[in-house]
């Protein structure tokens, strides 16, 4: 969603800020803006649309020396919430005096009440945003000390924020704070970079400080002082990012999504490395902080997440029941805290989130903690809020996922869930031999996935047949049912084709009414238990003229007979096969979207990290 960059140092701040915003483009946004400290005054440029448009606007509106001489500034990409994506609604926003500029991620929930109060005092607002209200509130609280003014203002605010503030009255520092929206501070040599996401910092330094909720930091080119909102100093450790700047580049691929699909064999190898004990037939997941006794106590596994992460949880549900004989269920994170979940100390709640910042998943973690459940997380972004708040869990090690459509995070999430289920299973029904066999299957995942990735060109040829359709149905059963849901989500979000995932048996309970001659049905018909029933469901679709694209097991000539087109995946255990199967659907969605000329990495209306409810 929205992105923040702040810079104070010796370099040309405008270029640093705009390059930083480019690094955050993947998060999804619809307008952008920058404020720099120019000769003791704040200069602002804003634009609807892309960061490139902002760059053009700043160059057109500012004299060349202004563009390049500033060494301090803040910048923002906005994903519209309050008011459309116009220039006037874009950040930075100024206070009434025009001396204080603010960029903000999150939502000020009581902004209407604050705005009325300020209007009664004579404040004039230019935009429809909640952020401008906060800028004015800070200005209103300013009695000579910017830090104190920000503290006083933030005490009056309900909601979430990650902010960076620049003041012409205090030109040699930037103040940044967070509650509910991440802020990372890059500690460079004679320069400091503030960002909502480490991707904007990577090319400057690997040394970062993550702010905690209610931290407020005074940042100069060579110092960072952190306090809480009551002005009490707090200490935050410097962490190493351990990320390669190249990981956030396209590396010769046309799109990040295609690159990330191709990276999956390596990502899976990283997610698995050192985590399987082949002699005991189990997994070793150090970060979970669980003893065999803790695991034996668990009576239920509750998996929470949103979107693609929710679908990974649905595969996990099958795995926990199948491998570990433990009652397991998946709950939508968005609903979790509103439905009074029944939880206790023997319930293991696993929060699944690539970004580790999804507002609903974070709220579910807090609810589960409140209820005394045993909570852990499965995140990709190291140091993210969910990872830090749960304090225990497993990192995916998938590397930065830049494409808005999640691919490698999903496959690594499933791989880690399978390892978790294996571990739990070994304490219960799984024998050592069963465990050794399953561990070997997990170990083979990178090569199984590589065999699907290698089919990219032939999948592109198949995609050409389907790209003109406006609707598609994905069907599967057992652990392939969540794969059908995920395949439909991938297709709709990047190709804007209407796609729905159903349990294969569910079609005839209603959706089959929509089938017409030529309607695509993408069937997960791999050779796993239930295949014959799925083939029966395919017959029902064929009888209505649907065009069938099957995902089938290599060498399964019987299944091939049922299909108009098919993509093969290697033979594997049904749970393991979910991963190569989803990779086939990722490639299918990618090629359909490419042929339809869609903006694949940043689909319309979507954001990479959904930090609002
Ligand atoms: C779809 C997609 C989203 C995310 C969802 C949760 O491709 O990426 O559905 O899966 O927004 O995000 P995380 O996993 O960051 O919590």
Ligand 1, residue 305: give the atom nearest the CA: 16
- What pLDDT does 602 receive? 86
User: Could you tell me if 397 and 267 are in contact, meaning their C-beta atoms sit under 8 angstroms apart?
Assistant: yes
**Average pLDDT for 282-286:** 92
- What pLDDT does 82 receive? 87
pLDDT digits (tens, 9 = 90+) for 501-538: 999 999 989 999 999 999 999 999 999 999 999 999 99
- What pLDDT does 81 receive? 85
Contact partners, residue 449, CB within 8 Å, separation at least 6: 264, 265, 268, 411, 579, 580, 583
Output the average pLDDT for the chain: 95
Q: Which residue, judged by its Cα, is nearest atom 8 of ligand 1? A: 406
Most informative mutation of 181, 307, 316, 490 for ligand 1 (most atoms within 8 A of CB): 307
Q: Which residue, judged by its Cα, is nearest atom 6 of ligand 1? A: 306
Q: Which of 116, 125, 110, 115 is nearest to 157 (CA)?
A: 110
Which domains occur in the chain, in start order? 2-247 (3.60.20.10), 251-443 (3.40.50.10490), 451-599 (3.40.50.10490)
Active site residues: 2, 608
- What pLDDT does 482 receive? 98
Residue 244 has pLDDT above 80, yes or no: no
Say how far apart CA 384 and CA 387 lie, in whole Å. 5
Question: How far is ligand 1, taken at its centre, from the CA of residue 532, in Å?
Answer: 33
- What pLDDT does 568 receive? 98
Q: Indicate the length of the chain as a whole number.
A: 613
Q: How does strand 192-195 pair with strand 184-187?
A: antiparallel
Q: Is the CB of 611 under 6 A from ligand 1?
A: no
Q: Which of 440, 453, 492 is nearest to 579 (CA)?
A: 453
**Average pLDDT for 220-228:** 97
Q: At 277, is the pLDDT very low, low, confident or very high (cuts 50, 70, 90)?
A: very high
Percent of the chain with pLDDT over 90: 87
3-class SS shares of the chain: helix, strand, coil, % to 5: 40, 25, 35
Most informative mutation of 181, 358, 486 for ligand 1 (most atoms within 8 A of CB): 358
Q: Which residue, judged by its Cα, is nearest atom 9 of ligand 1? A: 307
Q: Is the CB of 578 under 6 A from ligand 1?
A: no
pLDDT digits (tens, 9 = 90+) for 320-370: 999 999 999 999 999 999 999 999 999 999 999 999 999 999 999 999 999
Q: At 609, is the pLDDT very low, low, confident or very high (cuts 50, 70, 90)?
A: confident
pLDDT digits (tens, 9 = 90+) for 23-62: 988 877 899 999 999 989 999 999 999 999 999 999 999 9
Question: How far is ligand 1, taken at its centre, from the CA of residue 428, in Å?
Answer: 32
Q: Is the CB of 6 under 6 A from ligand 1?
A: no
Most informative mutation of 28, 181, 199, 308 for ligand 1 (most atoms within 8 A of CB): 308
Say how far apart CA 101 and CA 94 lie, in whole Å. 5
Q: At 380, is the pLDDT very low, low, confident or very high (cuts 50, 70, 90)?
A: very high
Q: Is the CB of 306 under 6 A from ligand 1?
A: yes
């Amino acid at each position: 969603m929205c992105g923040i960059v702040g810079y104070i140092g010796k370099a040309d701040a405008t270029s640093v800020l705009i390059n930083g915003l480019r690094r955050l483009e993947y998060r999804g946004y619809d307008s952008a803006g920058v404020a720099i400290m120019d000769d003791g005054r704040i200069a602002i440029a804003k634009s609807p649309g892309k960061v490139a448009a902002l760059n053009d606007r700043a160059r057109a509106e500012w004299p060349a020396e202004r563009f390049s001489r500033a060494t301090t500034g803040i910048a923002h990409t906005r994903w519209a919430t309050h008011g459309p994506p116009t220039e006037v609604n874009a950040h930075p926003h100024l206070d009434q005096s025009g001396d204080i500029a603010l960029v903000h991620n999150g939502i000020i929930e009581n902004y209407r009440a604050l705005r009325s109060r300020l209007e009664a005092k004579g404040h004039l607002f230019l935009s429809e945003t909640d952020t401008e209200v906060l800028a004015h509130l800070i200005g209103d609280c300013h009695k000579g000390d910017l830090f104190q003014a920000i503290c006083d203002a933030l005490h009056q605010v309900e909601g979430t924020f990650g902010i960076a503030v620049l003041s012409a009255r205090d030109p040699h520092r930037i103040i940044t704070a967070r509650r509910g929206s991440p802020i990372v501070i890059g500690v460079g040599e004679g320069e400091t970079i503030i960002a909502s996401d480490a991707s904007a910092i990577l090319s400057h330094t690997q040394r970062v400080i993550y702010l905690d909720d209610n931290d407020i930091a005074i940042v100069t080119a060579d110092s960072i002082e952190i306090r809480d909102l009551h002005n009490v100093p707090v200490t935050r450790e410097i962490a190493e990012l351990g990320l390669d700047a190249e990981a956030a580049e396209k590396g010769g691929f046309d799109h990040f999504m295609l690159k990330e699909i191709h990276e999956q064999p390596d990502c899976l190898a990283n997610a698995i490395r050192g985590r399987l004990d082949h002699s005991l037939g189990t997994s070793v997941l150090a970060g979970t902080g669980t003893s065999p006794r803790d695991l034996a106590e668990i009576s239920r596994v509750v998996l929470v997440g949103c979107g693609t992460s929710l679908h990974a949880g649905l595969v996990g549900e099958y795995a926990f029941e199948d491998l570990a004989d433990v009652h397991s269920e998946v709950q939508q994170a968005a609903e979790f805290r509103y439905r009074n979940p029944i939880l206790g100390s023997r319930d293991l709640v696993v929060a699944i989130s690539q970004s580790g910042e999804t507002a609903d998943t974070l709220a579910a973690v807090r609810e589960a903690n409140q209820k005394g459940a045993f909570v852990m997380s499965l995140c990709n972004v190291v140091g993210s809020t969910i990872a830090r708040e749960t304090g225990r869990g497993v990192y995916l090690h998938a590397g930065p996922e830049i494409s808005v459509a999640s691919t490698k995070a999903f496959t690594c999430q499933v791989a880690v869930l399978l390892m978790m289920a294996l571990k739990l299973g070994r304490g219960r029904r799984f024998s050592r031999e069963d465990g050794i066999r399953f561990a070997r299957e997990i170990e083979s995942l990178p090569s199984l996935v590589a065999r699907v990735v290698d089919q990219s060109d032939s999948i592109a040829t198949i995609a050409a047949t389907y790209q003109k359709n406006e609707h598609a149905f994905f069907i599967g059963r057992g652990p392939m049912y969540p794969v059908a849901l995920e395949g439909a989500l991938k297709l709709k979000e990047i190709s804007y084709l209407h796609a729905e995932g159903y349990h294969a048996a569910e079609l005839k309970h209603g959706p089959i009414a929509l089938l017409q001659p030529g309607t695509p049905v993408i069937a997960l018909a791999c050779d796993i238990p239930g295949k014959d029933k799925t083939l029966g469901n395919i017959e029902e679709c064929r009888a209505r003229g649907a065009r069938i694209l099957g995902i089938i097991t290599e060498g399964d000539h019987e299944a091939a007979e049922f299909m108009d087109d098919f993509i093969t995946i290697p033979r594997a255990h049904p749970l393991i096969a979910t991963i190569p199967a989803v990779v086939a659907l990722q490639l299918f969605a990618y090629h359909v979207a490419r042929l339809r000329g869609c903006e694949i990495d940043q689909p319309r209306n979507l954001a990479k990290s959904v930090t609002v409810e």
